[in-house]
Structure 1
Amino acid sequence: MKSLPLSPLERVRIVVVAALGAIMMLTAPGAALGAPDSFADLAERLSPAVVNIATTQTVTAPDRGPRPKLPPGSPFEDLFRDFFDGLPERGPRTTSSLGSGFVIDPDGIVVTNNHVIEDADEIVVNFSDGTTLPATLIGTDPKTDIALLKLTPPAPLVFVSFGDSSASRVGDWVLAIGNPFGLGGSVSAGIISARNRDINSGPYDDFIQTDAAINRGNSGGPLFNMAGEVIGVNTAIISPSGGSIGIGFSVPSALVKNVVSQLREFGHTKRGWLGVRIQQVTPELAEGLGLDKPVGALVSEVTADGPAAEGGIEAGDVIMKFDGRDIAEMRDLPRMVAETAVGKDVRVVIWRKGKTQTVKVVLGLLDEGDSGAPPEVDKPEAPAVAETALGMKLEPLTEKSRSDYGVAEDAKGVLVTEVDAGSTAAEKGVRPGDVIVEVAQEAVATPADVRGGVAKAKEEGRKSVLILVQSGADLRFVALKITN
């Protein structure tokens, strides 16, 4: 068939119709954006596995104190007697709280938040069908706010499975089911607003942020993806009123799964231990270390005889990779170490004095009571010569200066006795009584050593020099600007 040429008006009509069709496809429910027409089927399937958790706890009220002593015949004697006699006795009393949880095993294993059941005398789990079962505590992990409960059900329970939270993306749809304000079986939907959030609640913060409504009582409940998999445990909200304002946080399943596995096996967590104290690599520190950009975790202390020390890691090293994974920033490392099996032989890539090296470390078991004391560094005895450098007056450590400034006997380095108020050192928090341990990652024993290290960094064209400072029992690196 022969086609006929189109008029200009017909061409315009075709373009308009095509544009309208594209707009309708983009705005239609579920089209192109991945939004479901309804969450009803998903909610119906998942709700039976989500539970309400009720706890009771006995607390002792504070004593209301002695009655005021009044002289006999005082006009207020009868008034105070009637008042105090009318007050209830303040003995032990019972308090209750509500939260959420979810079943992960048909035999009766329930995940919730530690703060939901903390210090509870009795824990009861309520199901959507009206069933109520007592629960016993398997174990808790306060650092991630996860707790694991055991039920004894008369029949296998409906349960849900963990998904891969690391595969979730900002903008993905999520569903929260829980017990807000005691209203069991409440469902709310939203999206993932952000990932890898640090809200300063613990050393392993890596929260999923969501705008799905999460309120008091949702704590411990699951955050589902559209496949019906648990990708987070709802834990915290930011709200000036106590109600949802669209900023809620969930512990990601990638972290929860490992904690739950250890609680089931041991009743507590067994985390890997590297034996270092670390700090953030700032742009100034990166320049002093010779790094192109501020990445990794800077080692400020190494525990004597710890895994890192035995593997050859030193103070001043920057840990760039751990077990094949990049360390984008300092807070990545503690989480990676905690997730790694105790006893595993791990390759660690470090940046040391301008180049990368790879060391092997056998992870130890984290001991919460470990003091993490830094290793001793042998340095020669300092001669009694005072000098100034970078706005600091420096003196060698002597028996008298240790006593005057309260410096520990085992501290070694150069004593700071004065700091110019307008200097970079003062701005970075260096104070009289601090001890300079290293300059440009070289141990110093005299004020001349400090000046020499600064001069060498200046000759190399550096704008700042890296200083290791001991303040009391703490060690930290600071980058001080080199002045002309």
Structure 2
Amino acid sequence: MILTSDVTSLNAMILRLALLSLLLPPTPILAGAVPPGQKASVASIVRAVTPGVVNIATKRIESVEVPSIADPVLQEFFEIPNTRLKRETTSAGSGVIVDAARGLILTNEHVVRGASVIEVTTKDDRRFRAQLVGKDKATDVAVLKIKADNLSAVPMGDSRTLEVGDFVLAVGNPFGLGQTVTSGIVSAMGRTGLGIEGYEDFIQTDASINPGNSGGALVTLDGKLVGLNTAIFSKSGASHGIGFAIPIDMARRIMSQLVEMGEVHRGQIGISVRSPASGRAGAEIVSIEPASPAALAGLSRGDVVESVDGRAIAAPAQLRTLLGVMPAGSEIDVRFRRGGEAMQARVKIEARQKAAAR
């Protein structure tokens, strides 16, 4: 039997609990958590970016040697001419539309290397024969052009603002399967010394990159192009979470020269550098050519270059890469340390002398 006094006490307790819940602050949503009733998705970014990423198919003619025909004894006996056979091979890669009005596409040089035919397929399954505007093997950058209407370009961002930990999406054509999107973070910046290219300043990411992704887009979560997916670190050929992309700032510099001149005209300032003996970051000048741009600007042997145009120089390879993508005739702001004194100079890059033909 429930007594009236018990019911009264129970109602009073319920009332007190209700009032207490009104006084307590709401439970906060942790940073990065998805509010109740919503789902975590990058679908809107994918919808905006993917129309600007294309599939690239190439055909090339290769010269191959047939072992039996290559045997000099058989060649002589059967009177077979000493010739190599030719065969047609195909390969697939990716590219990014960066100028819709002019139909310009950025991709990797190795994607179109030796190609006799280059075919571009857009997201809406339109196919176009592409013209090679120019290519640069040292940075693995190439520019293609197609004649088409209603193209969609991926807006270029600023790769200098990237930080380790930023979320990124990789869009491309892995294994020729068709357009695919993977996600990850920026794992490291300024990777050099990998032996992949002549000038290296890679963005490292754990977004899955596989064969066929080369030349595809690396974009931020605001839909800006910050890199061209280029290579993976793998012994099996499959992705192991270590992928590399060319920073869009480097690709943009190379692209401007390829569009304007069809090739890259690199400059120099007349110095040789090494890692500082002190073990500090930077690039120590070990030799300087007389009357060179560096000498005329006041730089000397022993100076340690710490930044160029506001970008910190961590190692000699980084300085070499930065100078290697600067066009001749441009000027750079060099900040360096001489002894304990911080100094700066304005240096004009001169055209690199081509080696004389032998």
* TM-score bucket (shorter structure): 0.7 to 0.9
The residue type equivalent to 1:336 in the other structure is L
Give me the identity figure in percent.
37
Structure 1 counterpart of 2:306, one-letter code:
M
- In structure 1, the partner of 2:301 is 315
SS in 1 for 2:322: helix
Cα distance in 2 for residues equivalent to 1:102 and 1:201:
21
Give the match for residue 60 of structure 2: 57
What does residue 348 of structure 2 align with? 362
Q: Which runs of 5+ in 2 are unaligned?
A: 1-15
Cα distance in 2 for partners of 1:337, 1:346 equals 9
Q: 2:123 aligns with which of 122, 128, 131?
A: 128
Of the structure 1 ranges 238-247 and 109-118, higher mean CA displacement relative to structure 2 is found in 238-247
Secondary structure of 2:185's match?
strand
Query: Quick one: which of 134, 138, 141 aligns to 2:136?
Result: 141
What corresponds to 2:4 in structure 1? none
2:258 to 234, 257, 263: 263
CA RMSD, 1 decimal:
3.2
SS in 1 for 2:316: coil
1:297 to 283, 291, 299: 283
Give TM-score, length-normalised by structure 1: 0.61
CA distance in structure 2 between the aligned counterparts of 1:148 and 1:179, rounded to whole angstroms = 18
Q: State the 1:225 CA deviation.
A: 0.9
Q: Within 1, Cα distance between the matches of 2:288 and 2:345?
A: 15
Q: Is residue 334 from structure 1 mapped to residue 320 from structure 2 by the alignment?
A: yes
Q: 3-state DSSP class of the match of 1:43?
A: helix
Q: Distance in 2 between matches of 1:127 and 1:329?
A: 40
How many correspondences in the alignment? 328
Is structure 2 residue 186 aligned with structure 1 residue 192? Answer: yes
1:94–1:275 CA distance, 2 compared to 1 (3 A): same
Amino acid paired to 1:66: D
- CA separation of 1:316 and 1:180: change in aligned 2, threshold 3 A: same
Structure 2 distance, partners of 1:256, 1:164, is 11
Tell me, in whole angstroms, the C-alpha distance in 2 between the residues paired with 1:185 and 1:214: 12
- The reply to whether residue 66 of structure 1 matches residue 71 of structure 2 is yes
Q: Which has the larger radius of gyration?
A: 1
Q: 1:152 aligned to 136, 147, 153, which one?
A: 147
Identify if the C-alpha distance between structure 1 residues 158 and 36 changes in structure 2 by more than 3 Å, giving closer, same or farther.
farther
Instruction: Between the two structures, name the one with larger relative contact order (CA 8 Å, sep ≥ 6).
Output: 2
Structure 1: which amino acid aligns with 2:288?
Answer: V
Shift of 1:180: 0.3
Q: Which runs of 5+ in 1 are unaligned?
A: 1-8, 70-79, 287-292, 372-484
Q: Superposition pairs for residues 81-480 of structure 1, below 5 Å? A: 91-106=85-100, 107-153=102-148, 155-198=149-192, 199-281=194-276, 285-286=277-278, 294-352=280-338, 355-367=341-353, 369=355
Look up the SS of the partner of 1:334 in the other structure.
Answer: helix
Amino acid at match of 1:178: G
Residue deviations 1:73-105 (CA, integer Å, cap 9, x gap): xxxxxxx99xxx9xxx96211111110001112
Residue 25 (structure 1) aligns with:
30
Give, in angstroms, the shift of residue 260 of structure 1: 1.4
**Letter aligned with residue 215 of structure 2:** G
- Mapped contact 2:199–2:320 kept (Cα < 8 A): yes
Please give the alpha-carbon distance, in whole angstroms, between the structure 2 residues aligned to 1:279 and 1:228: 38
Which amino acid letter does the alignment assign opposite residue 369 of structure 1?
Answer: A
- Whole-Å separation in 2 of the counterparts to 1:18 and 1:109: 55
State how far apart, in whole Å, the 2-side matches of 1:346 and 1:360 are. 6
Residues in 2 aligned to 1:230 and 1:176: alpha-carbon distance in whole angstroms = 10
Change in CA separation of 1:334 and 1:42 when aligned onto 2, cut-off 3 Å: same
Give the TM-score normalised by structure 2: 0.81
CA contact (8 A) 1:203 1:334 kept: no
The one-letter amino acid paired with 2:172 is G
